[in-house]
A and B are shown apart, each in its own frame.
Chain A
């Protein structure tokens, strides 16, 4: 055990010293990712072909995603694109994420922010859904004192719930407010006192199924959007993406120039939030 500890510690120190070039590699050594087999993937829906041969965008993105899954994990780079011109502020993605990830009261991985500018009658309003940016240079990872937050080989910033001590340093460090503290509320607290049936089900957490209850993680931990790893790995799109009422959310492999996200990203009207901080987000916005 001490020997292990030392090894790990020194490797991290080393990783820290040679950062940033070697940073991601250094971390993966510690946290293996799950492997995928093609035959376990969710079938792609069969929708009539478009008149110009085009596909339903969900089909197209699922194909992109499943193609990416055939590559080794370190060659994938998941990214999201949200077309703010199309977002109607319906909050479908927000609640779809809440139910998908069985989030407790007060936690939303993808709130839809509303910003209003101007004075009557020259007023404008914009809706900005805000998942985790899955930063390439994530400030949340650096501050975590126990290595509970780490960046996977595919670029998703993950949290090891069993390591996390709940110090909330990462919450203060995330410039996007993308991290939440799970203080331990249940919907039953606000409605009848008893846990609601869907709160008793295990929820998918970074490849594990966990039942959320007092005294066990993720209560007391930091939590955040994880790009629905559990869905991606089944060959499905993240819940917010499939549910997006305005068809404003796109998802796929940024390393794949053929993917729909990559294609859309080539447009000039792409931006990212707080670009100046150098966090290098993998969530892009079309404006």
Chain B
């Protein structure tokens, strides 16, 4: 109990300055603001109509990118609703989505271009004009390109997906290194679907409504839930709203009779609605999945309706099952050195996962017998572990052999069925250009893309890049080991970071800082760091140039969404650009012009301003490929068009038959979708849903057009032998070079395995014998979880700071009076105000700990502790003792603590008592196949401070 607000420290200004809002609207506002004017409801309605409008657009407060409807009053965005016409979220918005206004109008927005004046990290900047900033960047880029080649520049577009203009520009400039957040998000999680389907994201079929062709030819909305079982392993869609329809869809399916099982060490919000919560030991999901698969294989009986787990029809659209099965079985006769039990047996899995053997059997039986069902796994549960691939592959296999893929109410790989977009606007053609480099004294010619550090470096299979390993690349440079440029070395000299914050999110924080501040003599090793974003996050503190990007309500783009069938949302201009911010398109064109003026030979007017005179032209280009999926499944979306042809064009042109059929290219071409078409249709395009889209090839993207259980195999075609399968490409490179990538060499492999494989995770004393010795000294496993904030980017939003979440984000703040810092003309600047915060009035990131562990350690909720890993990495935070977590596990909120950017307002003010999970991450911890950071393999001891 403390004095609150004891003095009025908050300065009050009578003069209201509306930053960025036009003078006219300001005047209009003040006109309305003359005291209180009671008016009738009818007059209020009229007033609303006169001064307010609604704009359909799409959210970016998290990567789910829901369709939203924004109310704009007098030029000011004032409320955010869901877009009832979009089938994914339909009318709903979540707390983050509704809070977008405070992102857009935040005092801590980057308002002007700035150039660093102090050292990196000192957060000293000066305001410059756009012209100065772009000159600085263009001069540096051209000089670096001359010296090191364009491949020394990286364009990382972080977590916000509407990045095509940047990719287009950098690919045109000649760099193969354009990326986004996938590489630090979940590549191991996507791996199974990727190698088996050519897809990525398996989700339950619970998106309703879906538009379905009816027997009478009409298109109607299907609202029925057919799912009977959903198992979520380490996937928390209720809080981590990645696939937004999973929150309502899951409960609706449950009410319609489905059983929900959640496997998570903590009682996530999703687990609150589960029929069964299984608090698994972290990092053991592959073990659980493997035991389920073994149980199903051993106990399946085709003749017993109560044991008919396997639906053999999967063999019609798959290949290589026997090889997979043989490899899987061969392991279950071996004994685990750790516990002497046979691999994948129930007892073995029980020992490792901490779940009783009979419970595992029951789970396996339930999953096998209940159809339709979906097994779905997430990032922290699986994607963030060293061996997440194994779980992802087994999980995918389980969904396939139980007959659940693509059946109504089953599981859908949304990557394969979402609308295509981007097309030529991604600039992929540019990296097919040939370049010549001197390798060991010889001129070698190859494609720009063959200079890519990941395809041809340590992780040749890292098809989504290796952002988590950038620090090492910054420090050591790139040595290509495979492909035509084998032996070629180049440094990384320019790093463009747009809407991402790797210093906090992209593996170990100190390691990133080290890489960004390393010097050769007086010069920073990475000579140019540019930060492009709306708010000022930690990575910005290490930038040389900072560019203010227009917020999502001030720009145009297309959403990147994962529905069960093809849907696209437009992102549209809602309000005028605030401050001096520019859109991605503006920045692309402006920087291209500068580069062109300064003589860069690769930037051509006909590729840029002549081709895309307006922003809308650019996005219309990106829409030319939509929806771009095979016309497949039951019921067939457009019975009048041939099966498996690619559909292109607006839903209404396809529906009305205003389309041409190209039998040679197998394309049905209607009228292109355009931004204007979307605008006229409530911001949404919806094409019909169907199921069974794997049959006859359908939407599958594998070479064989089948589900592949083998990933490097030979086929004979026209008498010629051909290597196929998702790993074959990399294995050919490895074989040609005769050098095994170091990460898989550590697994004892020579190249990528051609079918089922197994390896243990790291830093887990319960499953990996190499780490068993740490069990007693480091008794806690540390995992992460999401809160009602999006990654590290929204902690400046006041509303979200007021919503306690999942025992991870709790109002345990002490009372403080802080000197306010805001992002001003010259970067972070004290405002001169003192802000007083009462105790318990603001949420901070805390360490969720089992109450029983707390009792053992003599701790109480609110006590400050330090966590330390065997590698000596430390972080600190207040413990929150609760019953909602498995003993022996500590959970911290991702992006919520230790936040040292002054641009984060109140969250910054509590950086000294909040934990940053990535202070603990092993900087060398990268998963072996794609180099993804292993955020979730952490063990620690706890010390009270």
Contacts and interface: CB of A to CB of B under 8 A. Distances in A.
Do A and B touch each other in the complex, judged by CB within 8 A? yes
Interface of A: 34-37, 40, 45, 47-52, 54, 56, 58, 85-86, 88-92, 94-96, 98-100, 102, 105-106, 108, 112, 114, 116, 118-121, 123-127, 161-162, 187-198, 200-202, 204, 207-211, 213-214, 216-217, 229-230, 233-234, 239, 242-248
Contacts of B29: 200-201
Contacts of A36: 41
A233 B98 contact: no
Contacts, number: 271
Interface in B780-799: 788, 796, 798-799
Contacts of B77: 198
A99 B267 contact: no
Given A51-B214, A56-B209, A40 B16 contact: no
A246 B251 contact: yes
Given A200-B33, A216-B36, A89 B44 contact: no
A148 to B, nearest CB: 15
A194 B17 contact: yes
Contacts of A217: 36
B739 interface: no
Given A95-B799, A99-B101, A50 B221 contact: yes
B221 A56 contact: yes
A191 B798 contact: yes
A234 B850 CA distance: 50
Given A88-B238, A90-B788, A193 B32 contact: no
B378 to A, nearest CB: 16
Interface in B67-101: 73-74, 76-82, 84-85, 89-95, 97-99, 101
Contacts of B79: 96, 99-100, 239
Given A34-B41, A90-B94, A92-B95, A99 B212 contact: no
Given A40-B45, A191-B905, A198-B101, A48 B219 contact: yes
B42 interface: yes
B902 to A, nearest CB: 12
Contacts of B850: 120
Contacts of B244: 245
A92 B66 CA distance: 13
Contacts of A88: 238, 247-248, 251, 269-270, 273
A209 B255 contact: no
A120 B95 contact: no
A220 to B, nearest CB: 13
Contact of B831 (A45, A112, A192): A192
B887 interface: yes
B35 interface: yes
Contacts of B841: 106
Interface residues of B, number: 103
Contacts of B796: 191
B804 interface: yes
A18 to B, nearest CB: 30
A188 B254 CA distance: 43
A126 B884 CA distance: 13
A47 B98 CA distance: 23
B91 to A, nearest CB: 5
Given A88-B251, A95-B99, A246-B248, A193 B92 contact: no
A125 to B, nearest CB: 4
B803 A243 contact: no
Given A40-B42, A95-B799, A247 B252 contact: yes
A182 to B, nearest CB: 14
Contacts of B813: none
A38 to B, nearest CB: 12
The SS class assigned to the A binding surface is loop
Interface string B259-281: 00000000101101100010100
Given A50-B221, A88-B269, A210-B36, A196 B105 contact: yes
Nearest to B575: A197
A56 B41 contact: no
> Nearest 3 A-B pairs (CB), nearest first?
A192-B107, A91-B95, A95-B98
Among A47, A106, A119, A197, chain B packs the most CB atoms within 10 A around the CB of A197
B108 A48 contact: no
A124 B272 contact: yes
B363 interface: no
B94 A92 contact: yes
A95 B801 CA distance: 12
Contacts of A85: 251, 254-255, 273
Contacts of A200: 16, 18, 29, 33, 76
B247 A246 contact: yes
Interface string B829-855: 001010100000100000000111000
B16 A202 contact: no
B18 A197 contact: yes
B883 interface: yes
A189 to B, nearest CB: 4
A243 B92 contact: yes
Contacts of B252: 86, 247
A189 B835 contact: yes
B883 A120 contact: yes
Interface string B223-263: 11000000000000011010010011001101100000000
A211 B258 CA distance: 49
B37 A242 contact: no
B78 A123 contact: no
A208 B36 contact: yes
A49 B33 contact: no
Nearest to B254: A85
B426 to A, nearest CB: 32
B634 interface: no
A120 B279 contact: yes
B181 interface: no
Contacts of A162: 36
Interface stretch (B7-15, B305-313, B445-453, B693-701): B7-15
Contacts of A208: 36-39, 44
A201 B248 contact: no
Nearest to A210: B36
A40 B49 CA distance: 11
A114 B90 CA distance: 25
13 contacts: A58-B84, A118-B883, A120-B852, A120-B884, A124-B272, A191-B108, A193-B10, A194-B107, A208-B37, A208-B38, A210-B36, A245-B92, A245-B247
Contact of A190 (B74, B277, B798): B798
Nearest to B822: A192
A90 B95 contact: yes
B390 interface: no
B73 A201 contact: yes
Contacts of B16: 194-195, 200
B515 interface: no
Contact of A193 (B91, B269, B820, B852): B820
Interface in B472-527: none
B36 A92 contact: no
A248 B21 CA distance: 37
B248 A245 contact: yes
Contact of B10 (A86, A112, A189): A189
Contact of B255 (A34, A86, A202): A86
A206 to B, nearest CB: 9
Count chain A CB atoms within 10 A of each CB in B35, B98, B221, B833 and give the residue with the most: B98
B205 to A, nearest CB: 15
A58 B405 CA distance: 31
Contact of B887 (A40, A52, A120): A120
B653 interface: no
Contacts of B330: none
Contacts of B248: 86, 88, 245-248
A42 to B, nearest CB: 9
Given A86-B255, A99-B79, 14 more contacts: A50-B209, A88-B248, A96-B81, A99-B80, A187-B798, A190-B905, A192-B106, A196-B101, A200-B16, A202-B33, A207-B44, A239-B79, A245-B93, A246-B248
